[in-house]
Amino acid sequence: MGFVTDIGGRTSHTAIMAKSLEIPAVVGLEKATVKIKAGDMLIVDGSDGTVIMNPDARMLKQYHAKQQKFFRFEKTLFGLKDEPAETLDGHRVEMAANIELPEEIDSVISHGANGIGLYRTEYFYMNRRGLPTEDEQFEAYKKVVTRFEGNPVVVRTLDLGGDKFLSQLEVPHEMNPFLGWRAIRFCLAKPEIFKVQLRAILRASAFGNIKVMFPMISGVEELRQAIAILEEAKEELRVRKIKFNEDIEIGAMIEIPSAALTCDLLAKEVDFFSIGTNDLIQYALAVDRVNEKIAYLYEPTHPAVLRLIKGIIDAGHKENIWVGMCGEMAGEVALGLILLGLGLDEFSMSPAAVPEIKYVIRNVRFDDAKKIAEKALTFSTGTEVEEFTNKRLYELIPNLKKISNKTKP
C-alpha cells in the first residue's frame, strides 16, 4: 500500500520506481526504522512527503477526505487522455512516459502519453542469474514498440551503476559509484555485452518507431565510440540477413555538465537530445541524489540548472534536432511552465504525472510560458524561481489550486 525509507532522495531509483508503480512513498526520513514499530498505523502522504504515525480519528478523517479529493482530481484529468498536449495558442509538445517494464505500457496509454521517452533497460539485468539474451530483449522491445503503433519509443541502453546495482556483472564496489564505472563507460568497456543489447534494439526497429539513446555521454569522443559499436551491431545483423531500420534515430542523454556545455558539438552527431535532470542536477550542484542529508540542496530551479537547460535546448534547436527531458523535473507541474517556455519539445515522466502536466500545458499560452521562462532566468536563487513560478501557475490556472491535492506543488 505504501512505503517509507530512511535513505534516498526524490530522484533516487527507489523513489522513481515507486512513482511508476503508483505506490505512495516517502523517502529519506533518516530515522523511520528506529521510530516506527511493528503494528503502528501510518499515513503515508506521498504528495506532500509527510508520514503520520498513529493518527487520531480527526486526522484519519482529514486524510480520507484528502485521498478522495486526489481520486476525484485524477478522474478529471483522465478526461484529457486522448487530447494533445497543446497550449491555448496552438504550440504542441510531445507527451511521453518513462518505463522500466513492458507491463507498464497499459498505464502509459491510460494516462494519455503517446510514446515512451525513456525505456530504462537495467531491469533486464537485475535480480537474475546470467545475462539477458538478444532474443529475450528483442521480444520485450518488440512488444513495447508494436503496442505504440508508430509512436516513438526511446530505448536507453544499459545504465548500470550509481544506485542501480546488478547482481550478475562483476562490478567492483566503488567509493563514488555515481562518478564511477557506470552506464556507457561500462558498455564501452564490455562491447560484447553492449552489442547483444544493440542488436536486440535494432531488430525491434523493424517493427515500429524505436530510437536508441546512450546514457552518461560526457563528450563527443565517447559518443562516437558508442555509435561505432552500434554500426558494428548493424553490420552483424546485415551478415545474418536480419531486417532493421537502417536510419534508426540516435540520441544522447545530456546529464553530465561537460556534455551540457559542449552540446553544440554533440548536436552535430545525433538526432535528438534527452535531458536527464536527475543526474545533471546532482553533477552540476555536487549533490548526491540519494543522500537525504543534502536533499535540501537538490534544486531543479537553481540558476545554474536553468542556464544549462536553456543552453541544451538552444544548441539542439540550432542544429535542428529535437530536445526532450526524461528526468523527474519534466513531471513537476510548476517547472513545466519554464520548460515549455524554454522550448522543450518532448516531456517524458512517470505515467502518473502525465495527466497533470498535460492539463497545465493545455491551459496556458505559449507566449505566457516564454515570458515566465525569461523572467525565471533573471533570478539569483532557486527559491525565488520557485516562488515566482508557483505564483504564476496559480494566477494562470486558478482551477489547479482548487482541484489539486497538493498543498505545495
Residues 6+ apart with CB under 8 A from 335: 300, 301, 329, 389
Binding-site size for ligand PEP (CB under 6 A) equals 10
Residue 326 bears catalytic tag:
yes
x/- letters, 252..271, toward ligand PEP (CB under 6 A): ---x----------------
Of 327, 336, 351, 382, the residue at the interface with ligand PEP (CB under 6 A) is 327
Q: Which does 5 bind (CB under 5 to 8 A by kind): ligand PEP, Mg ion, none?
A: none
Q: For the CA atoms of 313, 273, 182, 256, what is the dihedral angle to 10 degrees? A: -10
* Distance of alpha carbon 309 from alpha carbon 337, whole angstroms: 13
Q: Is 278 in the site for ligand PEP (CB under 6 A)?
A: yes
279 contributes a contact to ligand PEP by CB under 6 A: yes
Give the shortest CB-77-to-ligand PEP separation in angstroms. Answer: 23
Nearer to ligand PEP, 132 or 162 (CB): 162
**Which one of residues 96, 295, 326, 361 is an interface residue with ligand PEP (CB under 6 A)?**
326
| Nearer to ligand PEP (CB atom), residue 277 or residue 301 | 277
Q: Helices marked H in 240-286 — which ranges?
A: 257-261, 263-266, 277-285
CA distance 354 to 340: 14
Contact between 120 and ligand PEP (CB under 6 A)? yes
Active-site position among 111, 187, 302, 326: 326
Q: How many residues does the chain have?
A: 409
CB of 347 to ligand PEP, least distance (A): 12
With beta carbons less than 8 A apart as the criterion, state whether 335 and 300 touch: yes
Instruction: Tell me if 195 contacts ligand PEP by CB under 6 A.
Output: no
Contact between 143 and 101 under an 8 Å Cβ cutoff? The reply is no
Least distance between ligand PEP and beta carbon 239 (Å): 33
* Residue ranges in contact with Mg ion by CB under 5 A: 255, 276, 279
Measured CA to CA, the distance from residue 65 to residue 388 in angstroms comes to: 30
Pairing of strands 116-119, 322-325: unpaired
Nearer to ligand PEP, 159 or 346 (CB): 159
- Rounded to an integer, what distance in angstroms lies between the CA atom of residue 207 and that of residue 147? 10
Q: Which residues are catalytic?
A: 13, 326
Positions in the binding site for ligand PEP (CB under 6 A): 118, 120, 159, 255, 276-279, 326-327
